[in-house]
Amino acid sequence: MITMPYDKISELPDSVKDNLTEDAQEIYKEAFNNADEDHQNWEEGRKHQYAWGAVKNVYEKKDDKWVKKK
């Protein structure tokens, strides 16, 4: 299956837009796009997992909100 990179954060899935700050959404978008370019054999779900992993390197979930790690 061919996936397309995200040009704008407004194109991200609602689960991302509804839960992450704009900065975290940028991290997600860039990570997904990098995975899309570097790992074309990965299924789309794996690319989303990779993007969430990139967000979790910088942010953590506290009380149902994503906050930047200290």
Q: What's the domain count of the chain? A: 1
Rounded mean pLDDT, 23-39:
96
Question: What's the Cα-to-Cα distance from 56 to each of 2, 41, 42, 68, rounded to whole Å?
Answer: 26, 23, 20, 9
How far apart are alpha carbons 70 and 61 in whole angstroms? 12
**DSSP letter (8 states) at residue 50:** H
10 pLDDT band, cuts 50/70/90, is: very high
Tokens 């990139």 locate to 54
pTM of the model: 0.92
2 in any annotated domain: no
User: Which CATH number covers residue 52?
Assistant: 1.10.1740.70
